[in-house]
Structure 1
Amino acid sequence: MATAVETLGKLERRITISFPLTEVRAEVEKRLKVQAKTAKAPGFRPGKVPLKMVAAQYGYQIETEVLNDKVGRAFNDAANEAQLRVAGFPNIEPKQESPAGVLSFDATFEIYPDVEIGDLTTVEIETVKAEVSDAEIDKTIEILRKQRVHFHTKGEAGEHGDGGEAVAANGDRVTVDFVGSIDGVEFPGGKAEDYPFVLGEGRMLPEFEAATVGLKVGEAKTFPLAFPEDYHGKDVAGKTASFTITLKKLEWAHLPEVDAEFAKSLGVADGDVAKMRDDIKVNLEREVAGRVKARNKEAVMEALVKSATLDVPKSLIAQDTERLAEMTRQDMAQRGMNVKDVPFPPELFAEKAERRVRLGLILSQLVGENNLQAQPEQVKAQIEDFAQSYEDPREVLKYYYSDRRRLAEVEALVLEENVVNYVLGLSKTSSKAIAFDELMGSNAQA
């Protein structure tokens, strides 16, 4: 038996569930008899263990199972009868005062809110667009050249020249010995031998690189180095050390020429440089299209959040907070970090969780009202688009269609795209061209 639903707040509700103690005892006894048919105990054949011994061994477990089952069924029946959409899980506590022979429980829970979405025809959304020009292709080629750099001894004649005067300069790879001290005392991490780095990449502190520039092999230099206040080494942060560096090896960087061999190294079988540039452009345009879509999707989602009015269930926020914390823990563990005993305070994820839940409720409402669900043909088209950049597109199709979870991820992407297109079709949109570098430097995420 369940009482009428009590309203405790905007979304919080309570139902009191009661049933006779005799019902529980009867069900417990019934399950104990079933358990006794297979129970084992020293000195008894299976199925011949006395019922009292079975009750002593399994009674508490079975009674807990019976209570959970009966309370769960009673709660679901009551919620369905009241036509409630329960958000999250109910908090069920035994009622302190109950009539004799009756067990009573209070089930406190939240319901899903009403979502009111504003007039989307009045919403203003700024979308972005970007183009891939020859300059971006040239810049990408330079990056690819640097990824294939070869180093040669500077000042020593070779197939590609000698690299100029054998003096350390930006772009050179140097190998040094160094030792640092503070007030005449060496400190941990302040000493190394045969340490290589490329000048100008910013791997070392600016004073260290500046002191290395101009040295010849065999030369040494002593100089002061002031560690920043926020330096990662807390023992030396904010202090000034004296360093002595000795240049042991000096190499200049030789970048490959943009020729047929270079094109072949990028997968162009016939070495056609023009075809290589076309391939790079296609890849860049695909990347730009993805970034533009992500930026515009985020603009739409932000507009929806601002235009909708709803109360967000705390239980759903708590669940998503736990989910985000666990995702972060797993991600850090996969990166080789030991996070076993690292605390993850809920407040670190609460704001993001609240927005995710809020947006999820808004999208659910919008999709349901306007039939924006992902259609099978849309899902297939999206997977085929993914497959274009792979050598064997059929394997990509098989990869997604062989796993329901992977397919669900694609369906979610298509659903979001349906929402974006729907909202953009209603709202007042304007388009702004942005620079390629600005777009590629962004990390827009919905």
Structure 2
Amino acid sequence: MQVSVEKTSELSRKMTVSVPEEVVKDKMESRFKSLAREVKLDGFRPGKVPQHVIKKMFKDRVREEIAGDLIQSTYFEALQEQNLRPAGYPQIQPIDESEGFQYTAEFEVYPEIPLQGIDGIEVVRKVASVEESDLDAMIEQIRNQNKTWAPVERPAQANDQVSISFSGVSEGENFTDGKVDDYPVEIGANKMIPGFEDNLIGLSAGDVKTFTVTFPEQYGNAKLAGKPAEFEVSVAKVEESVVPEIDAEFLKNYGVLDGDLTTFKNDVKANMERELKQALRNNLKTAVMDSLYANISVSLPKTLVDQEVEEIIKPYAENAKKQNRKLDESELPRDVFEEQARRRVALGLILSEVIQANNIKVDEAKVRSTIEDMAQSYERSEDVINWYYSDENRLNEIRQLVLEDQTVEWIVERAKVSDEKVSFDAIMGKK
């Protein structure tokens, strides 16, 4: 076997593999002998078909089969011989030759990852703590999450809940499949399209109102996105919220059986601190990734970027399928997806190189503690832990996550880190 490699671009390679005619003939002869024992032809006893007849009938088929076998057996051997790491499937093209067998394989290779600039990269690390005011705000949020509704005999106002029946028409077509009945809308919750909830303010039970609002440009249904729609709404009832007091009954419902307010506050604060710890860790990881992407230049194989674009698009396609509609190309801004894909591929390659170059191994103790942390938010935490350890695939997902976290920690130890004090709400995305 002879192998030659041509560099057609920075990452593209064209590899030519040649196999001598003697090797091809030996393999063909062996295949002819096997066929002679298997082939049944009229006029010949089984296994007694002459070789010259077999060769005449099956020569082209056998040579084609041998060509496929040779590609399978020589491709990876040639890659190893030339120390090449393909970044995707090759495009293989046999070359017509009177003697021997020859083919070309065109593919992209993984890039060299320059890690010289990784030491001393600048990273801003956000720091935050749970203050008493944060705890008070969270308890108020818990009270609001447990609110009930009481009917009122007055016009609706902000934060009320209005039960309505409504229908919607856009460009002459009813898009609500007739009328939607007994639909509760909390004014100010922003669960309806912009402007809809505002039009309910001032309405009382029994009122009917027709109004026009415009769907957002990025609305999930492409047929309605950016278009005006006329709604006809009739009000069944108006209700105001009733927020519960933090009393013994409330605390018991929350799980504090002794009804002690201090125990309740301690539980809430512990949950907040656990969530804050995870949010700070995620924020630091994002900051490290941003710095890596900005400071380490990597040539990216188009094959890997295209594959990543398809992975990003997949959920959109699946969502459209669930809605029994065809995905519109206008919903898929490929240039935006491509930038996301390039970032993911680049960071994946950089982290992989850091792991390999520094022999970073996953810490099984950290895997265990990570799963235990995840399980704390469940009532039967031990069942959750066993669920992960009962399936190797699930466990490997956590191992990969931990290995990535360990790699980020390794980078942070060598980075120029500056701390920035922020509020609990800021890090939790509430401001």
TM-score range, shorter chain: 0.7 to 0.9
Other-structure match for 1:70: 70
- Asked whether 1:289 is paired with 2:300, we answer no
* In 1, Cα distance between equivalents of 2:289 and 2:35: 54
Distance 1:309 1:345 in 2: 25
Matches within 5 A, 1:194-233: 194-203=182-191, 209=197, 212-218=200-206, 220=207, 225=212, 227=214, 230=217
Whether the 8 Å CA contact 2:67–2:101 is kept in 1: the answer is no
Residue in structure 1 matched with residue 81 of structure 2 by the alignment: 81
1:94 partner amino acid? P
Amino acid aligned to 1:10: E
Q: Secondary structure at the match of 1:5?
A: strand
Q: Is the 8 A contact 2:196 2:213 kept in 1?
A: no
How many residue pairs align between the two structures? Answer: 424
Letter aligned with residue 89 of structure 2: F
1:145 alignment partner in structure 2: 143
After TM superposition, list the pairs within 5 Å mapping 1:389-428 onto structure 2: 389-428=377-416
> 1:293 Cα deviation (Å)?
0.6
Please tell me whether residue 118 in structure 1 is matched to residue 106 in structure 2: no
Structure 2: runs of 5+ lacking an equivalent: none
Query: 1:144-187: CA deviations, max 9, x gaps?
Result: 33333222232xxxxxxxxxx6343333322345678999x996
User: Which residue does 2:5 correspond to in 1?
Assistant: 5
Bigger shift: residues 57-66 or 370-379: 57-66
Q: CA deviation at 1:211?
A: 5.3
The 8 Å contact of residues 117 and 309 in structure 1, kept in 2 or not, is answered as no
Contact 1:176 1:194 (8 Å CA) reproduced: yes
Distance 1:351 1:31, change over 3 A: farther
Q: Give the AA of the match of 1:322.
A: E
2:159 maps to which residue?
Answer: 171
Q: In the alignment, which residue of structure 1 is the partner of 2:244?
A: 256
Q: Distance in 2 between matches of 1:284 and 1:377?
A: 24
Which residue identity is paired with 1:199?
I
* Cα distance in 2, alignment partners of residues 304 and 384 from structure 1: 30
User: For 2:126, which of 105, 125, 128 is the aligned residue?
Assistant: 128
Q: Shift in Å at residue 24 of structure 1?
A: 4.8
| 1:439 match | 427
Q: CA deviation at 1:139?
A: 2.6
Unaligned runs of 5+ in 1: 42-46, 155-164
Alignment partner of 2:368 out of 380, 405, 417:
380
What is the one-letter code of the residue matched to 1:90? P
Shift of 1:318: 2.8
> Is this contact kept in 1: 2:194–2:215, CA < 8 A?
no
Compute the displacement of 1:229 (Å): 7.8
The 8 Å contact of residues 95 and 104 in structure 2, kept in 1 or not, is answered as: yes
Corresponding residue SS for 2:137: helix
2:85–2:109: 8 Å Cα contact kept in structure 1? yes
Q: Which residue does 2:357 correspond to in 1? A: 369
Distance 2:75 2:126 in 1: 50
**Hey, what's the Cα distance between the residues in 1 that align with 2:32 and 2:335?**
46
**Superposed displacement of residue 295, structure 1:** 0.9
Residue identity opposite 1:383 in structure 2:
I
Cα distance, 1:7–1:369 mapped onto 2, change above 3 Å? same
Worse-superposed segment, 6-15 or 17-26: 17-26
Q: TM-score, normalised by structure 1?
A: 0.77
Amino acid at match of 1:117: L
Alignment identity in percent? 32
For 2:161, give the aligned amino acid. Answer: R
State the AA in 2 paired with 1:68: G
RMSD, aligned CA: 4.3
Whole-Å Cα distance in 1 between the matches of residues 8 and 268 of structure 2? Answer: 61
C-alpha distance in structure 2 between counterparts of 1:252 and 1:49, whole Å: 95
Q: Which moved more, 1:417-426 or 1:393-402?
A: 393-402
Partner residue of 2:14? 14
Which of 102, 105, 123 is 2:103 aligned to?
105
- Measured against aligned partners, the alpha-carbon deviations of 1:54-95 in whole angstroms (never above 9, x if no partner) come to 999999998666433311321222221222233322221122
2:350 & 2:195 partners in 1: Cα distance?
53
Deviation at 1:236, TM superposition (A): 11
Q: Hey, what does 1:268 align to over in structure 2? A: 256
In structure 1, distance between residues paired with 2:100 and 2:361: 47
Describe the superposition over 1:262-287 as per-residue Cα deviations: whole angstroms up to 9, x where unpaired: 22222223332321221111111111
AA matched with 1:251: E
Instruction: Tell me which moved more, 383-392 or 413-422.
Output: 383-392
Instruction: Give the counterpart letter for 1:351 in structure 2.
Output: E
Contact kept, 8 Å, 1:11 with 1:313, in 2: the verdict is: yes
Deviation sequence 1:95-145 (CA, Å, 0-9, x none): 25x2x1322111122222222123444322111012112333333333333
User: Any conservation in 2 of the 1:2–1:15 contact (CA below 8 Å)?
Assistant: no
Tell me which amino acid in the other structure corresponds to 1:301.
M
Show CA shifts across 1:241-297 (max 9, x none).
6x7755432322222221222222222233323212211111111111111111111
1:223: Cα distance to partner? 6.6
Q: Which residue of 2 aligns with 1:161?
A: none
Q: 1:336 to 1:207 in 2, by over 3 A?
A: closer
| 1:264 partner amino acid | K
Q: Give runs of aligned pairs for residues 34-73 of structure 1, distance below 5 A.
A: 66-73=66-73
1-structure distance, mates of 2:385, 2:125: 31
The CA deviation at 1:205 is 6.5
Question: Aligned equivalents of 1:197 and 1:122: distance in 2?
Answer: 53
1:301 counterpart residue number? 289
Report the CA distance shift for 1:296/1:90 in structure 2 as closer, same or farther (over 3 A).
same
1:432: Cα distance to partner? 0.7
| Kept in 2: contact 1:129–1:432 (CA 8 A) | yes
Q: Secondary structure at the match of 1:109?
A: strand
Report the AA paired with residue 410 of structure 1.
I
How far did residue 298 of structure 1 move?
A: 1.2
Cα shift at 1:424: 1.6
- For residues 57 and 49 of structure 1, do their structure 2 counterparts lie closer, same or farther at Cα, with a shift above 3 Å needed? farther
Measured after TM superposition, the shift of residue 302 of structure 1 is 1.8
| Residues 250 and 63 of structure 1, relative CA distance in 2, 3 Å threshold | farther
